[in-house]
A and B are shown apart, each in its own frame.
Chain A
Amino acid sequence: MNDFYIILTGILVAVSCSILGTFLVLRKMAMVGDAISHAVLPGIVLSFFITGSRESIWMLIGAGLMGVFTTLIIEWLHKKTKLQEDASIGVTFTFLFALGVLLISYFAENIDLDQECVLYGEIAYVPLNTIMLFGLELPKAIVMLAVVLILITAVIFFFYKEWVITTFDAPYAASIGMSTVLWNYILMSMVSFTTVASFESVGAILVVAFLVVPASAAYLITDSLPKTLFFAVLFGIISSVAGYYSASILDVSISGAMATAAGIIFIICFILQWIQKQIHTSPSILQAEEQDV
């Protein structure tokens, strides 16, 4: 049963992250996602200290606010003080992450968090911490991740066309009256939720791998958004399963192995698209098509 719970945790993290990651990659905001996943750390530590629990609704709310706050700082630095965007990202997330590590040291006696957990999580401990729900004894982390996943899926599904258009062509979206700023903040809040929910299992750093790698791999080999989303989710699931079993064989970090598996899938996709490009750029096909216009 423990195996099942660990794999299920990995899958839940991977699916949530892959869906959001697809939009981060398409919006060229992969590093903003990276920054947010680091920057929510002080929020996690503080709400952990206050509520004494890693799985609470307050933690999600706190993280959502923290994510929006991080986005606001980055934008403020970039727009108001004319600092380059990449430098704004770099300065903001390192500062907040450092603050988080200091808080961990400060509360060291009161809370059960350590730096290793921050960096790569403790997915193997997920089954130990359970809660009774509908007469079932379920790991708390799984319940929380499932809630987040349902939330994300609902928000993406119901507002699919808003996501498509604000991502593809923001000026046009604004011209038909959509608030690009609002959708951006909603995305950033969801990235924060996911980071917090995934925190215990994969840590604040490896969650970036789950966000970006399967989505990038899927983006390389697909040509329509539904397919990109489908493959991103599929790759996320495959990495979780493959990562878990190879980690148990090699006796190494499970979340590390899951992220590495995603990396291997990415390499395969990269090579595939490269081969495809070599075939497709043979000039004769394109020229023939141009003529019948």
Chain B
Amino acid sequence: MIEHVADPILEIHDLTVSYSKRPVLWNIDLTLPQGVLAGIIGPNGAGKSTLIKTAMGLIPKASGYVKLFNKDLEEVRKKVSYVPQRESVDWDFPASALDVVLMGRYGHVGIFKSLRQADKEVALDCLRKVGMEAFADRQISQLSGGQQQRVFLARALAQDADLYFMDEPFAGVDASTEKTIIALLKEMTAKGKTIIVVHHDLNSADEYFDWILLLNTRLVASGPTEKVFTKELLQKTYGGKLNILSSVGDLLHNEQFPNRE
């Protein structure tokens, strides 16, 4: 069940990504309409984070292409925002919550120039949106996991993009933060923004997202939640890797076989 849309905001065509020649994403083909809150769902090691990192050009592709707004990433970078996993940075870095949110303005300011008062106001406003204005000057290592995640979200808001990729924004956050974040994301999509979220909790998935991508090395399904979030398709996603596919993947890795070179 892979539903394709006309005029997609994100188009992934025939994408294969390999680590040491073993494909972690295999021939992914998908399109996504504008204005959805999409969840990427799948078991551990299914390539969920790899998919959005590749879309952001952080990981090289073995084959295929990614188009955002029907253009190459370089042309539309300012309209795209990426929120890495919270654990991917060292929160002992000497910076305040506001400093981190201000980083969201860097892409707009350009090289050589410094930030202005207006940027600071945008950043403070974004902190307010995630309910963190009281913590603007707090050192980031003193924030709880949920608060750190809110700061990351505020940074993404400060970027003022149209398309957002978020890597596990609900990992290790408290229930109230999760509620705040999801309400905010829904508000954003209502305004026409598109948000793609890597998510690992099956229980909340159908409630949160209006579009779901089921991923396990290959794309099992992609479409509106009510069509995709079925027992049968979930079983297909979580029922382990396809035996033949993973055997061939192992073979490619062991032989270091050049894939499409």
Please list the residues of chain A having a beta carbon within 8 angstroms of any beta carbon in chain B: 26, 28, 158-162, 164-165, 167-169, 171-172, 174-177, 219, 222-225, 227-228, 290, 292-293
Contacts and interface: CB of A to CB of B under 8 A. Distances in A.
Given A171-B53, A293-B176, A165 B93 contact: no
B56 A175 contact: yes
B93 A168 contact: yes
A293 B175 CA distance: 12
A171 B100 contact: no
Contact of B84 (A160, A169, A219, A293): A169
B88 A225 contact: no
Interface of B: 53, 56-58, 74, 77, 80-82, 84, 88-90, 93-96, 99-100, 103, 106-107, 109, 111-112, 114-115, 131, 134, 139, 141, 144, 146-147, 155, 159, 176-177
A176 to B, nearest CB: 4
A205 B114 CA distance: 37
Contacts of B100: 168
Given A172-B82, A223-B94, A161 B114 contact: yes
A171 B82 contact: yes
Given A171-B53, A293-B147, A165 B103 contact: yes
A26 B82 contact: no
Contacts of B88: 169, 171
8 contacts: A161-B106, A169-B89, A171-B88, A172-B103, A172-B155, A219-B94, A225-B95, A228-B94
A169 B81 CA distance: 14
A174 B95 contact: no
A175 B94 contact: no
Given A167-B93, A223-B94, A292-B134, 20 more contacts: A26-B90, A26-B93, A161-B106, A161-B109, A162-B106, A164-B103, A168-B103, A169-B88, A171-B53, A171-B82, A171-B88, A172-B103, A175-B80, A175-B84, A219-B94, A225-B93, A225-B99, A290-B144, A293-B146, A293-B147
